[in-house]
Structures are given as C-alpha cells and as structure tokens.
Structure 1
C-alpha cells in the first residue's frame, strides 16, 4: 500500500504547534505523518526584521524542502495568518510542477483553516483592516509593546475571539500558550501565492468557520471570492479554532481530502 502524504501544519499569528496537538493525535490515529514548526515571527527576538516573507522562506527551508527532497507528498494546511506565508511557500512546489520537472514528491493540495487568502505583497494587517467598519484592526489586539515591535491579543479577549465554542479547561490551556508576534510580519506581505497556480486548481480546500470572531465568515467568503480561484468549502459551525473544538471532524476532513488528492 502506498504511504500516506505528510500533513504539514502552519500555525497562525500568536499560535504554535502546541495548539495543534489534539488534531495531530487524530491524524496520527489515521496513519498520517505530521510536521509543524513555530514560525520565526512568533516570539522572535528580532521583530523589526522578521517579515511575512521570512516566515514563508522558513516554511520552504525548514518544513517543505526536507520532505520534498525525501520524495514525500505533502498536504499543506494553514491556519489564520499562516495562510499568507504558506501561500507564498507553496508557489512552484505542487506535485504536478515537480513531476514535470523530473522531481519526486510535491504538495498535493492546500487546506486553509479560517486562513487569510493573501494576494502577492498584501499584508494580513491590510486584509484585516478591510473587514473592519472603522478601517482598523479590532480592539482585541493589544499594542502594548509597539516600541519593541510586538503585539498580542488582550488576555481578557482571547476566549471570546479565538476559542468561543471551546470548554474553559481546553481554552485556558490554549491561552497560556499564546505568544507575541512581530508587528513587521503582520504588516508585510509575502510573494506570489501558489494557490493561484494551475497546478493547485481542484486541490484547494477552505475550512469555513461560521462562529468565527477573529476572521468573520463574511471575510472568509469575500477573500475566497476575490481570490479568483475555486475553493472546496467545508463548513464548520465553530470558532476560529476548529482544531480544538472539533479536532476529530477536522482530522476526518483532512483525511477525506488527502485521500481524494492522492
């Protein structure tokens, strides 16, 4: 039997691979190898020089290249901010493109979980501002360390914004793991996104989170429409974090898509 593709999970802003632990346990049970690494922009010591493009290059160098060089097929999964650098990282690495170039392995599909669909050189801050009536990012983001180059969600708002459908016992653990992020990273765009390439058409899926207080369902729908490509939409009646509120169902969705794309 052919081996299953590796699921590469890219966290969003302020989040780390620890937040995917429950989801990973269900993917493990289905026999999927997984890889997830903390983005350089999260809890960085050099926020002023840490960009979204730098996060993208990290995904290429530290997550994707070792897998592809080993001939692995990969399902690239991105959450929230992670959609911006992951989209750029996927450019040119689709299975079809690599096969045509005589290379083994490749990304067989992209799954965005309530993630930003960022055009070339458009920052997450710009996209977030588009969907605010005031033209500003929501007041749940704490700009308490601007001189140091970081921001972080207000602690009293995290449950409401990220984990509003999650039991307190699980949400409180997740909140403890939230880290600061470089303002530069969320204010800069990454290069040309791979999801626009022909090699990914028919291999794009979007997990739409209807109860999302971080990136509203309207914003998710609008970004999909503006992208100019077709996304296979999987509706989750959850908060911004279905990997915590419905991890088994999310793992099953990833399994279904990976099987179809394989």
Structure 2
C-alpha cells in the first residue's frame, strides 16, 4: 500500500505538543508523522534575527533526511506555517528530485486555514486586514515578540474547554520579524508539480483567520485547489481531530496514487 510521511508545520505561537493528538490519529493510519518547533518560536535564538526564510531553511534541514531516504512527504501547514512551509518545498518536489536522478520528495501540500504566500514581497503582516497587526496581536517592541491576547477566543473557540486551557498554556511568544520580513524566494504551492495535490482546509467559524479572508486568499492564488470546509475554528486539529486525520489520510491515497 502506498504511504507517505506527514510533516506538520506549526502555526505562529504553537509548538509540536499542540499537534500530539493529531499525530496519534495519523499514526493509527500507519502514517509516519513528525512536527518541528520553528526557530521563530524558539527561546534559544534572538527574536530580532528571525524571518519566514529562516524558518523555511530550518524546515528544509528537517525535511532533508526523509527525502534523501527516498520517502514521499506531504506538508500539513497550519496558519503561519503555510508561508515558510511552501517556501521550504521549493526545490524539494519529487518531480524535481526525480529529474535529477534522486528518489523521494514532497508530493503534496495541505494548507489548514493557512496563509498562502505570494511573491518575494509577501509577509504575514501584509496578509492581515489593513496590513497591520490586529488588536489581539500585541507587538512587544522591546522583546521583538508578538503576544496573542485572549487566545482561547481566537484560536480555540470550538475546542473542548480543558483541551483549550492546556493549549493556551503551551503557547509561546512569536518572533515579530517572522511576521513582517518578506519571503526571500518563490513558494512552491503554484508549481505544476502540485496540480491535483494541493488541498486547502477552510475553517468556517475561524476567529483568527476569518473564512472571508481564506476564501479571498484561495481565489486570488490563481491556481486550482482541492477545498474542504470544516465547521471549525482556527484549531481543527484539536476540535475536529478525527476529521482532519481522515482528510489527510484520503489525500495520501490521492497524492500517492
């Protein structure tokens, strides 16, 4: 049976522990899965030096052992993760690697209420209404950090209360330069290699990234998407874990077929 490795790219403020339940569901389908903490969420590096491109470079470093081992990889990107994730996939598509005599590579992209980067001028900040941080996104200029205010409402509005409380406790500061620094290259989501292998999971009751904004981003991308809608907030991996796992499992069959 064809299978794939799933690499989860976290949202801003989020760490691998936020995706543990989803990982368990995916592994129950005999899928290999891993999640990495991005540098922009690290306490071990200077926040002022971070960028989506540095996150992308980190993702490539973590992706490289899997593709060099000949594995087919699908990126599951959540929210901000869509920006560095799709940037990291450039040059790692399976078709590109096969053309160069190598096995393995990224075979599909799944955006989970995730931002779609455009050209080299794209930033997370530019994707926000009015190109400015929202009232719930506090920019602490002294520490170069973005801090979410009332994250339970914006991230976990449809998540079971005890699960939401735990998720809030796991949140970490997000390096502000990763939101305001432009991408330094082209993203892979528009590549022909992902035609028929490009999925967008829309969340219809999202308080952080409203459905109207998701609709506009998908529409304005200029490419065709396999779109799935969930009656979920910004964290379907916590409120609709089984459904997200089912969607991923179904795409594995399509992408590897």
Q: Same fold (TM over 0.5)?
A: yes
Q: Is the 8 A contact 2:126 2:132 kept in 1?
A: no
**Which residue number corresponds to residue 39 of structure 2?**
40
Map residues 130-169 of structure 1 onto 2, 5 A cutoff: 131-132=129-130, 135-143=131-139, 145-154=140-149, 157-169=150-162
Runs of 4+ in 1 over 2 A off after TM superposition: none
Query: How big is the shift at 1:175?
Result: 0.1
Provide the secondary structure at the position in 2 that maps to 1:19.
helix
* C-alpha RMSD over aligned residues: 1.1
Partner of 2:27: 28
SS at match of 2:40: coil
Aligned to 2:93: 94
Q: Which residue of 2 aligns with 1:240?
A: 234
CA distance in 2 between counterparts of 1:202 and 1:152 reads: 37
**Gaps spanning 5+ residues in structure 1: where?**
none
Q: Quote how far apart the aligned CAs of 1:136 are.
A: 2.8
TM, length-normalised to structure 2: 0.96
Q: SS of the residue aligned with 1:89?
A: helix
2:180 corresponds, among 177, 187, 207, to 187
Task: Give the gaps of 5 or more residues in structure 2.
Answer: none
Q: Distance in 2 between matches of 1:59 and 1:43?
A: 14
1:211 to 201, 205, 215: 205
TM-score, structure 1 as length reference: 0.94
Shift of 1:188: 1.2
CA deviation digits over 1:91-129, x for unaligned, max 9?
Answer: 12212221122110011100000000011220001111x
1:84, 1:189 within 8 Å by CA — same for their partners in 2? no
| Residue 120 (1) aligns with residue 111 (2) | no
Show the counterpart of 1:171: 164
> Contact 2:200/2:228 (CA < 8 Å) preserved in 1?
yes
Q: How many residues align?
A: 253
